[in-house]
Amino acid sequence: MGEDMIQKIFKEIFHKENIKDFLYIIFGCIVQAVGMAVFMVPAKLVSGGISGLAQVINHLTGWPIGVMTLIGNIPVLIIGWRYLGRLQFAVRTITAVFLFSVFTDIIYYFFTDPTITGDLFLNTIFGAVIMGIGFGLVYLGGGTSGGSDIIGRILNQRLGLSISTSYLVCDSLPIILGTIVFGWELALYALIAVYINGKAAEVISEGNSSFRQAYIISDAHAEIAKQIMTQMDHGVTVLHGAGGYSGREKEILYCVIYRGEVNTLKKLVAEADRNAFMIVGQANEVLGEGFQPNKYYS
C-alpha cells in the first residue's frame, strides 16, 4: 500500500465531516457484539455470514469467535476489494469488521458471564433485534458487515444471481452447518433470528416507512397540483405519458408526502376529480428539499 493511499485513508477517518459516521459505526459494532456475545452465542443460535461460521468453529474448537470472524473476512475483503467501490466505503467496512470482531471477544471472553437469560425464545428475539439495530447503525455510518455483503455482490456479478438470492445463500450456509452441529430446533430459531435481524437493520437504516409516494392521473391535474402545493405545501412533478389503449397523452402527477397526510391527499384529489386514478406506495427514504438533507459519500 503506497504512502499516498495511507494518507488518503487517514484523511478519510479523521476528517471532521466523517467523525459522525465513524461514531455510528463504533456504536453499531458495540451493539452488534452485545447481541452476538450475550444472546446468540450462549443460546447456540447461528447468525448468518462469516460470524455464523465463526460460531460453529468456536463450538468445535474453542477458538475465539471474533478472531475467527476477522480471519474469515480477510480473504473476502482482499478478493472483493474492487466490489467495495469508493475508498470511503471500503475504509468504513474494514473498520466495522475489525471493531465487531474485537468487541465480540471482549464481551464474551472478558466478562465472567455475559448471559442474561437461558430462555431460547428471548435469546432469539432480543439477540436478533439488538444485532439488527447494530447493523442498521453501521449502515447509517456508511459501512457494511463485510463478509455477506461482499460475497453477495460477487455472486451477483459473477454468477448472475439476484441480490436477494445471493444474500440468502450467504446466510443459509452457516445455518445449514449449524443444523448439523446444534440440531434442527436451534437452526429453526436461527432462521427466525436472521429474518428479524434483517428487518430491524432495515428499520434503523432506512426508517420505518413514514413516507408515501403518490401517482395521480386526472384531467384536473392542474387543479390538483395547485392544491397539493398550496394546501399541503409539497412539491409536485408533472410527468408526461400516454394511454396504452387510447394513445391519448396524459399528464401524471408525482409527489411525496408523509404517512399521516395520505387521507388529506385522497380528499383533495376526490374534490377535484372523483374519477382520478391514484396510486399510493411506500417510500423508505426521502432526501432533499422539504425532507431530510442528502448526504453523499463522494
- The enclosing domain of 248 has a CATH number of 3.30.70.120
Cell of 209: 416507512
Residue ranges making up the domain that contains 215: 211-283
Determine the straight-line distance between the first and last CA of the chain, rounded to whole angstroms.
21
Helices 184-206 and 120-140 pack at an angle, to 10 degrees, of 30
Query: Within a domain: residue 292?
Result: no
Question: CA 47, CA 52: separation in Å to the nearest integer?
Answer: 4
The pLDDT, as a whole number, for residue 109 is 84
The pLDDT, as a whole number, for residue 100 is 94
Under-70 pLDDT residues of the chain: 1-17, 80-88, 112, 152-153, 156-157, 160-167, 206-210, 289-298
Domain limit, last residue, from 181, 206, 231: 206
Work out how many domains the chain is built from and give that number: 2
Q: Is residue 232 helix, strand or coil?
A: coil
Question: CA 193, CA 60: separation in Å to the nearest integer?
Answer: 22
The pLDDT, as a whole number, for residue 110 is 82
Cβ neighbours of residue 15 closer than 8 Å, sequence gap 6 or more:
none
Query: Within a domain: residue 295?
Result: no
Cell of 97: 469488521
The pLDDT, as a whole number, for residue 77 is 81
Q: What angle do CA 258, 262, 267 make, to 5 degrees?
A: 140
Residue 200 and residue 227 in one domain? no
Residues recorded for the chain: 298
Could you tell me which residues are beta bridge partners of residue 241? Answer: 250
The pLDDT, as a whole number, for residue 142 is 75
The pLDDT, as a whole number, for residue 232 is 85
Query: Within a domain: residue 11?
Result: yes
The pLDDT, as a whole number, for residue 169 is 74
Helix H or strand E encompassing 167? helix 163-182
Query: Within a domain: residue 288?
Result: no
Domain limit, last residue, from 163, 189, 206: 206
The pLDDT, as a whole number, for residue 297 is 46
